[in-house]
Amino acid sequence: MQIMNWSALHSFLQVARAGSLARAAAALGVNHSTVLRRLAALEQELGIRLFDRRAGGYAMTPAGEQLRDLLGDVGERIEQACERLAGLDDRPQGVVRLTTTETLAGVVLMPHLAEFRSRFPGIRLEVVVDNAFLNLREREADLAIRPSNSPPDHLVGRRVGKLRFAPYASKSCLQARRPGLHPGAFDDWNVLDWIGPGEALSHLAQARWMRQHVDAERVIARFDSLPAMLAAVRAGLGACMLLTMVGDNDRDLVRLAPPPEALDTQVWVLAHPDLRRLARVRILSDFLVERLKASPHLEPR
């Protein structure tokens, strides 16, 4: 295998891992046609078909699985070499796959991403909004903006601020159900109906607080989306633990108590150690760290 085909092997490994030409292209920072051309060249040189093209993605043939297994550690070394060599290129261009949560994307990040694109038009952004950690080790994303007090040990990153949570209810809800009840006067949270996070969000800080302070029968609805929970509180369905950066800026909502310090959650800009050497990832990471540290939506860390 000639040196000129290292990139073809690298592309093969990415498609094998991602199961998708588009995701592999995003991870490699090249376009769709480049990955397709590399795979075709590799298959022609080897004289075998490595993938079956299907509607749902790319599935490895038995020959493709055998090549992946034969590469073993050699495949990882090829990937590391390609990534480190690519990191020597300081031109701000290519695709960066960024993952973050619904609320951070909608409330905090969009103005900064717009500014970034105006400053670095050669870098294209692919934003994955998901409340669970994507696997940066497996190149599901290049960069993560995540709230966490214990980020994964294999990632490197910088803290940019913290999020705070507090209980809120709509003014109409309080007036209709507890007209004589004033914020701060609660000695029993079970006098209110509550909106809770669904199973997909059960790991969040506010879910833990509710399990400790609110009886299960008082939780009259659960949602697997933070924006949906906010909409439910606005509609008067019940009280809810919300981010202060959202609740305090909504004139229809009333904060019922101060934010519990135990629920404070750090916000991180995270990357895989190998990926942060890539110029486009490093540039976006440095930009977001600077902007998020100054963001009025995040509490100082």
Q: What contacts 154, CB < 8 A, 6 or more positions away? A: 137, 272, 273
Distance between CA atoms of residues 76 and 64, nearest Å? 16
Domain's final residue, options 87, 112, 136: 87
**For the CA atoms of 97, 102, 104, 107, what is the dihedral angle to 10 degrees?**
120
Are 11 and 26 contained in the same domain? Answer: yes
pLDDT at position 30 is 76
Helices (H), the chain: 6-18, 21-28, 32-46, 62-87, 102-103, 110-119, 171-177, 205-213, 226-234, 244-247, 279-293
Model confidence pLDDT, tens digit, residues 240-280: 999 999 999 999 999 999 999 999 999 999 988 777 778 88
Structural domain contains residue 231: yes
Are 170 and 236 contained in the same domain? Answer: yes
- Domains of the chain: total: 3
Structural domain contains residue 299: no
Are 79 and 115 contained in the same domain? Answer: no
Structural domain contains residue 269: yes
Q: Give the pLDDT band (50/70/90) at residue 1.
A: very low
The least confident of 147-161, 192-206, 250-264, 269-283 is 269-283
Model pTM score: 0.69
Asked if residue 197 lies in contact with residue 229, where contact means CB atoms within 8 angstroms, the answer is yes
Asked if residue 36 lies in contact with residue 21, where contact means CB atoms within 8 angstroms, the answer is yes
CATH number at residue 146: 3.40.190.10
Are 273 and 153 contained in the same domain? Answer: yes
Asked if residue 100 lies in contact with residue 157, where contact means CB atoms within 8 angstroms, the answer is no
Structural domain contains residue 15: yes
Model confidence pLDDT, tens digit, residues 171-186: 888 877 766 666 665 6
Are 109 and 183 contained in the same domain? Answer: no
CATH number at residue 45: 1.10.10.10
Model confidence pLDDT, tens digit, residues 53-105: 877 678 889 998 988 888 877 766 766 666 665 555 566 788 888 999 989 99
Domain's final residue, options 72, 87, 102: 87
Are 150 and 171 contained in the same domain? Answer: no
CATH number at residue 171: 3.40.190
Structural domain contains residue 300: no
Are 67 and 10 contained in the same domain? Answer: yes
Are 126 and 176 contained in the same domain? Answer: no
Structural domain contains residue 298: no
Structural domain contains residue 145: yes
Are 180 and 170 contained in the same domain? Answer: yes
- Residue 291: what residue type? R
Residue 83: domain span: 3-87
Could you count the other beta carbons within 10 Å of the beta carbon of residue 208? 15
Structural domain contains residue 301: no
Are 213 and 125 contained in the same domain? Answer: no
Domain's final residue, options 42, 60, 87: 87
Are 132 and 175 contained in the same domain? Answer: no
Are 181 and 253 contained in the same domain? Answer: yes
